[in-house]
Amino acid sequence: MRYVGFNSLLACGLGMEARRISGTVMPQAYTGLGTGAYRHLFEMDTNLGTGMPWDPVYDGVEEGDLVDPMQRKMRRGTVAVWREFGIWELHSCMINQLAFGWDTNSSTGHCNLDFFAYDLTRTPIVNSSLSLRVAFPNAGPSVLFHQGIIRIGPANISTPLDNDDIIRPMTWFATVQNQLQVAGGPRTGRTVEEFERGGTPLVLGSFNMPRYQSNAFINAWVDPTPLMMTMKFTGPLIPRTNVRYQLNFYLPSVYVSQAEPVGPLPIRANQPVQWFATAPSAPVAGFPLGVKNGPLMIEVIDHLPFHSLL
């Protein structure tokens, strides 16, 4: 996974990049020595279908932002895969699942995607091997595990997380499950309708502590207590600025679903911790302000001035 190149996937997978947040145009441009750097904030929308119009109140759109006043949010697109012998082209794809992961063994993070597509062709007209070669290689810097800092502590509306809340696990994983449904169309039953969520989207994950040396996560598991968690990666400087690439995960309401240590063993055991995230009852301290009260926000700071959904 890299600091550059994932914005469209994050916008389609989570569903929302607001046009304005509290009057600030997004992506938010840095000024001064930071000129050339931009801040993006991706949030989970309640609906991923094109039946959901842009909302001037919640999405921050104003006159002139949209090509047409009835313009809809488009969270789907074409995926072209170059498989050396030929190109497979999936049309009108929607993202059903995003899975992020880092561990100390591989260092470089990964992002796995599950798509639902309207159809598939192996004889594409638009995308060719020549056009796809233009995109290689991805020269953006990799998001490495040692560049990340994980903080977790009791959810609090007035006290933000600090360095006392840092943990250093061997792994960290997070998955967004959109719960998309696939259903036949109303006429023939063959051509599928637009995919929609069939239930509440799920955000869940895990991390593995190298040693069982505290009962904090066991207590949060036995007596369910809302926690808040951040995973923040900081990369190299963005060219010609004094701002660094960043990829930040914000989870304002996290519950531990499993925290039993491995063992007993003759040596000190590790402690796998599983968690799931929910929408917070109130905004928590130190987290960015968004337009959706959802279980996950992902912040990207890069050199791209483009809005991913407009």
pLDDT tens for residues 28-45? 999 998 999 999 999 999
User: Six-digit token pair at 48?
Assistant: 């991923």
pLDDT(186) > 70: no
Give the pLDDT of residue 264: 72
Strand partners for 172: 102, 207
pLDDT(1) > 70: yes
The answer to whether position 232 is within a domain reads yes
The C-alpha R_g of the chain, in whole angstroms, comes to: 21
77-82 and 171-177 as β-strands: parallel, antiparallel, unpaired?
unpaired
Mean pLDDT for the stretch of residues 245-266: 91
Give the pLDDT of residue 41: 97
d(CA 218, CA 208): 13
Strand partners for 119: 91
Give the pLDDT of residue 136: 58
The answer to whether position 83 is within a domain reads no
d(CA 244, CA 191): 46
Mean pLDDT for the stretch of residues 254-260: 96
The answer to whether position 91 is within a domain reads no
Cα 14–Cα 20–Cα 22 angle in degrees, nearest 5: 110
Contacting residues for 140 by C-beta, under 8 A, at least 6 apart: 2, 3, 4, 5, 245
Q: How many contiguous H segments (helices) and E segments (strands) does the chain have?
A: 3, 19
The answer to whether position 147 is within a domain reads yes
Give the pLDDT of residue 187: 56
Three-state DSSP class for residue 174 = strand
Give the pLDDT of residue 138: 65
The answer to whether position 234 is within a domain reads yes
The answer to whether position 72 is within a domain reads no
303 and 37 in contact (C-beta within 8 Å)? yes
d(CA 277, CA 293): 12
Confidence of residue 154 (pLDDT cuts 50, 70, 90): very high
How many domains, in total, are found in the chain? Answer: 1
d(CA 169, CA 264): 20
Confidence of residue 276 (pLDDT cuts 50, 70, 90): very high
- What is the span of the domain harbouring residue 231? 7-47+96-113+138-302
Q: What is the pTM of this model?
A: 0.93
Give the pLDDT of residue 190: 62
Mean pLDDT for the stretch of residues 283-294: 93
Confidence of residue 202 (pLDDT cuts 50, 70, 90): very high
d(CA 64, CA 41): 21
Confidence of residue 192 (pLDDT cuts 50, 70, 90): low
Confidence of residue 135 (pLDDT cuts 50, 70, 90): low
98-102, 105-109, 278-282: least confidently modelled range: 105-109
More confident residue, 86 or 42: 42
pLDDT(211) > 60: yes
The answer to whether position 77 is within a domain reads no
Nearest Cα residue to 80 out of 41, 120, 108: 120
Mean pLDDT for the stretch of residues 66-78: 85
The answer to whether position 264 is within a domain reads yes
75-84, 197-206, 275-284: least confidently modelled range: 75-84
148-154 and 227-237 as β-strands: parallel, antiparallel, unpaired?
antiparallel
Give the pLDDT of residue 166: 97
CA distances to 10, 33, 140 from 246, rounded to whole Å, are 14, 17, 12
171 and 207 in contact (C-beta within 8 Å)? yes
Continuous segment of H or E residues that includes residue 28: strand 28-29
Confidence of residue 108 (pLDDT cuts 50, 70, 90): confident
